Amino acid sequence: MPYSSELKALQKVDRLRVRKLENTKLIDFASNDYLGLSEQKELLRKTVDEVETYTSHAPKSSQLVNGYHPIHKNFEEYLCRKNGFEEAIVAGSGFLANLAIIEALPRKKDILILDEEYHASGILASKLISAEVKFFRHNDMDDLKDILQTNSYKRAIVAVEGIYSMSGDLVDKKVFEICDKFETILIVDEAHSVGVVGDSLLGVFDLYGIEPNKNHIKMGTLGKAIGSYGSYILCSSHIAEFLLNRAKSLIYATAPSLLDIELARVGFLYIEENIELFKKEIRRRREIVKRHFDYDMSGLIFPFEVNSSKNALKRQKELDNLGFSVAAIRAPTVKKPILRIIPRININSKSFESLCNFLSRREP
Ligand SMILES: Cc1ncc(COP(=O)(O)O)c(C=O)c1O
């Protein structure tokens, strides 16, 4: 068989990945549905009612052909109002949005500078460009500054995540100052910070009180706290115009699903309605982790370190037997294996306490 040796090699070091059907009998501490919106059937019903009022319920073609629908526009206008950006563009997924931005914006003679823990979609896109690409040490602002000072370039484009998807680290606020000072374009991937941090739960711009400027780009995903699927890019009108002319995953792809985009709009409104309750529940989960592990979660990602890939799988199995579903994340996604635990706020805190009790008694 053509790939047997590669697959065997993965198996040997406990890195072989397999898909498993979700076991709904387990309590889900694995998925990114931070606020439990994916199970709120009233949001689905509202969405279907709204989409049914239009002639077509499918996007049918690219946004640049005939697929840009009032549902997309309505959602984009909502996002601009809420986040204070000039323009929004919906995209098929966070992966496609990162591909769009990172493949299109850095041109020849530019420099792209990414945090070394930036998401795989950005890393992949960075391999497709002719601009110079550099990585700075994770969340190390001195290293970022050093790269900006010691390289020559026409434009610099810096890419960070609001909350890093695996380590759960919060981006250093200084990145905004540094990028302003060096007049770089700054991309903030807010996949894991929207719905989780900030006074209005809008992510790190909101948390740090940053007024968006013409060089800021905020990417948000809809498949995590928002309980839908898809993504959006917020930026200046100028950058939006460029992306719509150059970003291949926006131009050469069918526009995002209307049902998903409307579901996301309805999801955002639901967060607004329940914001104080959600913030209280998020705080409660953070207190539990602090009490059990003396660890400060910035968002709702608790990376429980384990000492080998083998143990990651073993602990995962043990938790599975106790009725808990968690993710065992191994190389190459992370350098050191972890159990990635998401204390989703729709699961009562007592269940989360039992999971923490079990883990805190275990050797890593
Ligand atoms: C930081 C980050 N960016 C982008 C993505 C891709 O988003 P999507 O799952 O919507 O394609 C993910 C996750 O999957 C992510 O964790």
287 within domain boundaries: no
**Domain co-membership, 73 together with 30:** no
Give the span between the Cα atoms of 153 and 74, in whole angstroms: 38
Distance between Cα 152 and ligand 1 center (Å) = 31
Distance between Cα 229 and ligand 1 center (Å) = 10
**Domain co-membership, 56 together with 129:** yes
Q: Which residues pair with 226 in a beta bridge?
A: none
Cβ–ligand 1 distance for 93 under 6 Å, the answer yes
Closest protein CA for atom 16 of ligand 1: 165
- Of 226, 256, 272, the last residue of a domain is 272
Cβ–ligand 1 distance for 221 under 6 Å, the answer yes
2 within domain boundaries: no
Distance between Cα 220 and ligand 1 center (Å) = 9
pLDDT at 15: 87
Q: Does residue 129 have a pLDDT over 90?
A: yes
Domain count for the chain: 2
User: Mean of the pLDDT values across residues 346-363?
Assistant: 90
- Of 229, 255, 272, the last residue of a domain is 272
The answer to whether the beta carbons of residues 130 and 176 sit under 8 Å apart is: no
**CA angle at residue 196 from 187 to 213, to 5 degrees?**
30
User: Mean of the pLDDT values across residues 280-298?
Assistant: 97
Closest protein CA for atom 8 of ligand 1: 94
264 within domain boundaries: yes
User: Mean of the pLDDT values across residues 240-256?
Assistant: 98
Q: Does residue 244 have a pLDDT over 70?
A: yes
**Domain co-membership, 264 together with 145:** yes
Q: Does residue 254 have a pLDDT over 70?
A: yes
- The pair of three-digit structure tokens given for residue 81, joined into one six-digit string: 């109002």
Please state, for a pLDDT cut of 70, what percent of the chain lies above it. 99
Q: Does residue 137 have a pLDDT over 80?
A: yes
Q: How confident is the model at residue 75 (pLDDT cuts 50, 70, 90)?
A: very high
Least confident of 48-62, 275-289, 321-335: 321-335
293 within domain boundaries: no
Q: In sequence order, which residues have a C-beta less than 8 Å from that of residue 48 and are 6 or more positions away?
A: 259
Cβ–ligand 1 distance for 95 under 6 Å, the answer yes
Quick: pLDDT tens for 196-226: 999 999 999 999 999 999 999 999 999 999 9
pLDDT at 42: 98
Expressed as residue numbers, the domain containing 177 is 42-272
**Domain co-membership, 67 together with 194:** yes
pLDDT at 313: 92
User: What is the CATH number for 85?
Assistant: 3.40.640.10
**Domain co-membership, 331 together with 207:** no
**Domain co-membership, 23 together with 50:** no
User: What is the CATH number for 330?
Assistant: 3.90.1150.10
- The pair of three-digit structure tokens given for residue 187, joined into one six-digit string: 């991309």
289 within domain boundaries: no
From 90, 119, 187, give the residue whose CB has the most ligand 1 atoms within 8 Å, as the site to mutate.
Answer: 119
In Å, how far from its chain's centre is CA 288?
24
End-to-end CA distance of the chain: 37
Quick: pLDDT tens for 165-198: 999 999 999 999 999 999 999 999 999 999 999 9
The answer to whether the beta carbons of residues 177 and 208 sit under 8 Å apart is: no
Quick: pLDDT tens for 98-127: 999 999 999 999 999 999 999 999 999 999
pLDDT at 60: 96
Cβ–ligand 1 distance for 325 under 6 Å, the answer no
Closest protein CA for atom 5 of ligand 1: 94
**Domain co-membership, 220 together with 308:** no
3-class DSSP assignment, residue 355: helix
1 within domain boundaries: no
168 within domain boundaries: yes
**Domain co-membership, 248 together with 264:** yes
- Of 272, 291, 320, the last residue of a domain is 272
From 34, 95, 96, 123, give the residue whose CB has the most ligand 1 atoms within 8 Å, as the site to mutate.
Answer: 95
284 within domain boundaries: no
Q: How confident is the model at residue 78 (pLDDT cuts 50, 70, 90)?
A: very high
**Domain co-membership, 18 together with 52:** no
User: Mean of the pLDDT values across residues 147-172?
Assistant: 97
In Å, how far from its chain's centre is CA 26?
24
Give the span between the Cα atoms of 106 and 23, in whole angstroms: 43
**Domain co-membership, 267 together with 325:** no
**Domain co-membership, 77 together with 201:** yes
**Domain co-membership, 182 together with 330:** no
To the nearest whole number, what is the mean pLDDT of the chain? 96
Q: Which residues pair with 77 in a beta bridge?
A: none
Give the number of the atom of ligand 1 that is nearest the alpha carbon of residue 223. 10
Closest protein CA for atom 10 of ligand 1: 94
pLDDT at 364: 65
